[in-house]
């Protein structure tokens, strides 16, 4: 009898079926990949619709897995929090005492600000939230940066709507399906966000790099110095993003263009808020009647 390592697939029906099934799956995968490549090249709208249809099918599964993963990871976190709660309690009480004077000053400034705005009749624009949804996935290994949101047309999500998290701006909706949407992150190379520096209001542009960070570039100025730790928020220019939303913080000092780290990391976010554009564009004028 031949040794086990010298046997061919013909000695076992199971091995024959396994090898045959592997060949079939390999050929089917190659055919599907070729069809998708041709569709994305010659018919991008059809490929986009197909991609969003697949996302609508896989989003509920990804949502369920994300909920299970959160439940499992919350157990050790709860245990660690229980052990640290007493020390943190004392630290928080001391922090409250130190910041009480600062809080009083901030309340006074806020009251004066509201009074002056009322005197000047300044109108505030506050974007209305559309839906709060879960981020079920994001691309972290390619040059493009997208995230998948488990809300779509049925929840009122439309392309172009800004998306933000608790820490800051996440991006904007690029495509929307029935129950899923694809979000273009601020770190994507195609993302450009008008921002301003918090300490002096200097305007700038936050451009994505595709590696999880952004470039802060000065606007209409040269030899602009950026300090390490400078924080930038949305300026409201362009009407899409509401002003005052945190975007990024400068990593190292430099001039004209520096690297910055976004405040909102999609990999660490559970939920995000989809908002309406800050200042929606006016509807197009009706077509003029043609002369007979």
DSSP annotation of 46 = H
Fold entry, domain 133-278: Thrombin, subunit H (2.40.10)
Helix axes 13-42, 44-120, angle to 10 degrees: 60
Q: What is the mean pLDDT of residues 267-283?
A: 76
Q: Over 50: is that where the pLDDT of 1 sits?
A: no
Structure token digits, residue 275: 């908002």
pLDDT score at 44: 75
Q: Which residue, chain included where needed, has tokens 């089917």?
A: 28
Q: In angstroms, rounded to a whole number, what is the distance separating the alpha carbons of residues 184 and 192? A: 11
Q: Over 70: is that where the pLDDT of 3 sits?
A: no
- The pair phi, psi for residue 253, each rounded to 5°, is -65, 150
pLDDT score at 120: 64
Mean pLDDT of the chain: 80
| pLDDT tens column, 190-203 | 999 999 998 888 89
Q: Over 80: is that where the pLDDT of 220 sits?
A: no
Q: What is the mean pLDDT of residues 12-35?
A: 78
DSSP annotation of 188 = S
More confident residue, 275 or 138: 275
Q: What is the mean pLDDT of residues 197-219?
A: 89
pLDDT score at 129: 83
pLDDT score at 29: 78
Structure token digits, residue 168: 């800051």
| pLDDT tens column, 112-125 | 777 776 666 655 55
Q: Please provide the size of the chain in residues.
A: 292
The domains of the chain are located at: 133-278
Structure token digits, residue 71: 């439940």
* Full-model pTM: 0.60
Strand ranges inside the chain, DSSP E: 129-138, 146-149, 162-164, 169-176, 181-185, 192-197, 203-208, 214-218, 225-226, 231-234, 246-250, 254-255, 257-262, 271-275
Q: Over 50: is that where the pLDDT of 38 sits?
A: yes
Q: In angstroms, rounded to a whole number, what is the distance separating the alpha carbons of residues 21 and 36? A: 22
Q: What is the mean pLDDT of residues 219-226?
A: 82
Q: What is the mean pLDDT of residues 46-72?
A: 75
């Amino acid at each position: 009898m031949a040794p086990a390592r010298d046997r061919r697939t013909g000695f076992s029906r199971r091995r024959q079926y396994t090898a045959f099934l592997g060949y079939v799956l390999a050929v089917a995968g190659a055919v599907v990949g070729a069809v998708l490549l041709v569709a994305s090249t010659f018919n991008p709208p059809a490929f986009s619709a197909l991609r969003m249809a697949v996302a609508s099918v896989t989003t509920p599964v990804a949502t369920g897995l994300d909920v299970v993963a959160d439940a499992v990871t919350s157990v050790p976190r709860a245990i660690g929090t229980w052990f640290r709660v007493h020390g943190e309690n004392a630290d928080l009480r001391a922090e409250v005492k130190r910041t009480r004077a600062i809080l009083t000053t901030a309340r006074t400034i806020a009251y004066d600000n509201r009074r002056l705005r009322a005197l000047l009749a300044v109108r505030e624009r506050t974007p209305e939230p559309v839906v709060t949804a879960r981020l079920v996935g994001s691309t972290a290994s390619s040059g493009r940066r997208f995230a998948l949101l488990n809300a779509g047309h049925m929840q009122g999500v439309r392309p172009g709507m800004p998306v933000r998290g608790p820490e800051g701006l996440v991006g904007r909706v690029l495509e929307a399906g029935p129950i899923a949407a694809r979000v273009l992150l601020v770190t994507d190379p195609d993302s450009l966000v008008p921002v301003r520096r918090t300490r002096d209001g200097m305007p700038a542009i936050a451009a994505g790099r595709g590696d999880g960070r952004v470039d802060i570039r000065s606007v209409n100025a040269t030899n602009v110095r950026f300090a390490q730790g400078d924080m930038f928020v949305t300026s409201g220019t362009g009407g899409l993003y509401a002003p005052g939303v945190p975007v990024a913080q400068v990593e190292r000092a430099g001039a004209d263009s520096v690297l910055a780290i976004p405040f909102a990391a999609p990999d660490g976010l559970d939920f995000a808020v989809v908002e309406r554009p800050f200042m929606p564009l006016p509807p197009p004028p009706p077509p003029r009647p043609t002369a007979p």
